[in-house]
Amino acid sequence: AELARLVLGLFKLRIAVMIMITALVGLAVTPGAALSLAQVVVLALAVLLASGSAGAFNQYFEADTDRLMARTRTRAFVTGELPRTPAWLVLIAALLVLSVGAAWFALNAVAALYIFLGAFVYAVVYTVWLKRRSWTNIVIGGLAGSFAVLAGGAAVDPSLGPLPLLLALVLFLWTPPHFW
């Protein structure tokens, strides 16, 4: 039970669930043919897994700086409760590939691309490239969450109409002031 709690904690599930919900809202506001229940489940799980994998990568990459902040110093990679080995990177990559592949197969390539871009922007652009370089990193970090809305919209209509685009813009603009 303790090991499961530690592992699940790596994936930032509270945030991943919220991002999954934004994908479902993107789906709900986009006019078009209804998805099957199986497609909705694939969308939800693909976004959840992609977001979770990006969150786990964030904790893996930032273990050295996480020990410096009160909010993050008890994370499992920081405390050593979970070993920070390359096997985690393999698992994280496998979850991302699985989620993007499932979306591509069950939905379409555009929805899969947005799911990938959300994880990539958070893991690479935000975590690796910007976070240690600029206090404005959260502005681009907000873009990561917006891709989930676009994935939900693209699952219905890959050409994306104004509603999912507007919702993604609102989420993007809301993130920095919410964080600051």
- Spatial separation of the C-alpha atoms in residues 42 and 38, rounded to whole Å: 6
With a CB cutoff of 8 Å and minimum separation 6, the contacts of 113 are 154
Helices and strands: H and E segment counts in the chain: 9, 0
Please report the pLDDT score of residue 152 as a whole number. Answer: 98
What pLDDT digit, counting tens, does each position of 24-54 carry?
Answer: 999 999 999 999 999 999 999 999 999 999 9
- 179, 54 in Cβ contact below 8 A? no
Please report the pLDDT score of residue 59 as a whole number. Answer: 94
Please report the pLDDT score of residue 178 as a whole number. Answer: 65
Specify the amino acid at residue 26.
Answer: G
What pLDDT digit, counting tens, does each position of 71-118 carry?
Answer: 888 888 999 999 999 999 999 999 999 999 999 999 999 999 999 999
What pLDDT digit, counting tens, does each position of 127-145 carry?
Answer: 888 777 777 777 777 788 8
- 157, 107 in Cβ contact below 8 A? no
